[in-house]
Amino acid sequence: MTTVIDGKNVAASVIQTVKSATAALEKSSGVTTGLAVVIVGDDPASHAYVSSKSRMAKECGFKSVQHTLPAETRQEELAALVATLNADPSIHGILVQLPLPKPLDSEPIIQSILPEKDVDGLSVVNAGKLATGDLKTGLVSCTPAGAMVFVRRTHGEDLSGLNAVVIGRSNLFGKPMAQLLLNANATVTIAHSRTKNLSEVCRNAEILVAAVGRPEMVRADWVKPGATVIDVGINRIPAPERGEGKTRLVGDVAFQEVSAVASTITPVPGGVGPMTIAMLMANTVIAAHRTAGQTPPQF
């Protein structure tokens, strides 16, 4: 019987831990965890993301600050706002919603966020800490951190002797995911569009993580029987059966056929997706604990 991971359920348990840790920190040291979210322009999808992040921050008991800037905002104005937030001791996490409208350049903005406040885990300092195995002082990018919670809850903390394959090598997901698996002692292969015999490489994996952005690319014959399959893809495809012009969401894994082979699998939607905001809250409360000199909670 295949286990389908309920991402909403796991995310809810992470949020519960965040709430308890937030309350305990406030009680023990008088520190209220603070998260600042910056959004530029009027992209509706970005605004929807940001309002759900701000809402969740309030629910967790954080001081939640949102800065909404017009699309015409200049690079130096945005940089000045980040500098102000860096200097504000009541703010422990800073999130700049991407993508930024043109002609703004996101990279220098992201890199200007203090690494200890970089709750999105996107700074080169945090990437470097992860690469060198420093999980004690670094912050990990939210989506791979969330996917790793699933892996740990399935296989435990130590992945010694397990082969893991990550399909996708993006800086946002593929590379940090591979580092997390490596830090947990898995034997890790990073595969991608240029990999020869990709299906054969995947069949070797006890843990298979797909993050390529190609709808239902991973088929049943790519998967080792009994493997754990984590699907990070979110693709919108036509769904004529629902009516003209209708679409539906699918992952990078052909869910129906792969769930007949895998022992554990994440669905799309409802798998890794809900974990991203939960891990953002987790990173923020971890950052607040570190600033207060307290031991942060484990997720």
Q: What is the pLDDT of residues 240-250, one digit of tens each?
A: 888 888 889 99
Closest CA to 67 of 90, 41, 45, 44: 41
How much is the pLDDT for 240? 86
Helices (H) and strands (E) in the chain — how many of each? 10, 11
Identify whether residues 161 and 262 lie together within a single domain. Answer: yes
Residue 232 confidence (pLDDT): 97
Residue 269 pLDDT exceeds 90:
yes
Q: Which residues of 40-60 are buried (b: 16+ CB within 10 A; e: fewer)?
A: bbebeebeebbeebbebbeeb
247 Rama class: left (phi>0) / alpha (psi -120 to 50) / beta: beta
Backbone φ and ψ for 139, nearest 5 degrees, come out as: -120, 135
The rounded percent of the chain whose pLDDT value lies above 70 is 100
The CATH number linked to 202 is 3.40.50.720
Q: How confident is the model at residue 156 (pLDDT cuts 50, 70, 90)?
A: very high
Q: What percent of the chain has pLDDT over 90?
A: 94
Residues 76 and 147 reside in one and the same domain: no
Q: Is 170 annotated as a binding residue?
A: yes
42 is catalytic: no
Domain identity same for 101 and 203? no
Are 167 and 254 part of one and the same domain?
yes
Distance, CA of 123 to CA of 118 (rounded, Å): 7
Given the residues 27, 63, 75, 97, the one annotated as active site:
97
Supply the mean pLDDT for the chain.
Answer: 96
Where residue 265 falls among pLDDT bands split at 50, 70, 90?
A: very high
Distances (CA, A) of 136 to 29, 36, 119, 222: 21, 23, 14, 36
| Nearest CA among 252, 163, 229 for reference residue 3 | 229
Do the domain assignments include residue 218? yes
CA atoms within 13 A of residue 221's CA, in its CB half-sphere: 1
Any domain includes 15: no
Each residue's pLDDT tens digit, 194-203? 999 999 999 9
Q: Which residue has the tokens 């699998």?
A: 265
Print the domain residue range for 62. 29-114
The answer on 147 and 228 residing in a single domain is yes
pLDDT bracket for residue 280 (50, 70, 90): very high
Q: What is the pLDDT of residues 72-109, one digit of tens each?
A: 999 999 999 999 999 999 999 999 999 999 999 999 99
Average pLDDT of 56-78?
97
265 shares a domain with 179: yes
How many structural domains are present in the chain?
Answer: 2
Question: Domain check: are 162 and 56 in the same one?
Answer: no
Residue 289 lies in a domain: no
Q: Is 75 a catalytic residue?
A: no
Let me know if residue 188 belongs to a domain.
Answer: yes
**Catalytic (active site) residue 120:** yes
In a domain, 279, yes or no: no
Banded model confidence at residue 1, pLDDT cuts 50, 70, 90: confident
Q: Is 230 annotated as a binding residue?
A: no
155 and 221 fall within a common domain: yes
Residue 299 lies in a domain: no
- Measured CA to CA, the distance from residue 37 to residue 183 in angstroms comes to 30
* pLDDT of 22: 98
Domain CATH number, residue 84: 3.40.50.10860
pTM: 0.94
Q: SS3 for 209? A: strand
State the distance between the two ends of the chain, measured CA to CA, in whole angstroms: 27
Tell me: do 247 and 180 sit in the same domain: yes
Q: Model confidence over 28-43: pLDDT tens digits? A: 999 999 999 999 999 9
User: Which of 118, 120, 231, 252 is labelled catalytic?
Assistant: 120
In a domain, 54, yes or no: yes
Does 288 map to a domain?
no
Structure tokens at 285: 């409360």
Do 199 and 252 fall within a single domain?
A: yes
Pairing of strands 3-4, 264-265: parallel
* Residues 166 and 249 occupy one common structural domain: yes
Backbone dihedral angles phi then psi of residue 233, each to the nearest 5 degrees: -70, 145
Please check whether residues 101 and 201 belong to one and the same domain: no
